[in-house]
Amino acid sequence: MSISEKTFLENVCKYCINKYTISNNGPLIASLICQICKHEDMDVPAMQGILRIYINEHYSRSFAHCFNIYRGIIVDASLYQYALVNKPIENLFPIYIVDTTPPHIEYTIYNEIKKDFQIKFSDKFLENALKSIKENDPYSTKRFTLLEDSKKEELFFCR
């Protein structure tokens, strides 16, 4: 992955995290990332799978999760939703992942979320999102609370 591709994917993740509620929106965010990247001629399919967090050497937690893949590399903008509801282990969840997965996190892919089963975002909506991503580079990211997350736009209504 080139530096410009990585920077673009990081900015897409930051855009999604800063603008939209991430709690329980993993499939929607994965679909949005997939469709935004299609406008840039990048194939970043949405995937269904399992996210496993190793808490210590004898204990791990698993979560059904949706994320994206680009050239075999994980792109995950909705990972932090689990930190919001798992306060005792919130420090184990990065805000997003592009490229480097921490050693205590493991992804298992079950299948691709086919285009027919994704929420379809309008071309105008995707173009506006892409314009915002390119104009507002770089977005800042910081840890946030469930209350702060609930004040963001609901992605389901933005199609």
Please give the Cα distance from 50 to 27 (Å, whole number): 13
Question: How far, in Å, CA of 79 to CA of 122, rounded?
Answer: 25
pTM of the model: 0.90
Q: What is the pLDDT of residue 57?
A: 81
Q: How far is CA 18 from CA 14, 25, 55, 56, 144, in A?
A: 6, 14, 27, 30, 10
Q: What is the pLDDT of residue 157?
A: 63
What's the confidence (pLDDT) of residue 32?
94
Whole-number Cα distances in Å, 156 to 48, 108, 119: 18, 26, 8
The Cα 72–Cα 86 span in angstroms is 28
Length of the chain: 159
Domain ranges in the chain? 3-152
* Residue indicated by tokens 């997350």: 149
Record the tokens describing residue 137, joined without a space. 């580079």
Residue 143: both structure tokens together:
């840890």
The tens-digit pLDDT sequence of the chain (159 residues) is 788 899 999 999 999 999 999 988 888 999 999 999 999 999 999 999 999 999 988 899 999 999 999 999 999 999 999 999 999 999 999 999 998 899 999 999 999 888 887 788 889 999 999 998 888 766 678 888 889 888 988 877 655
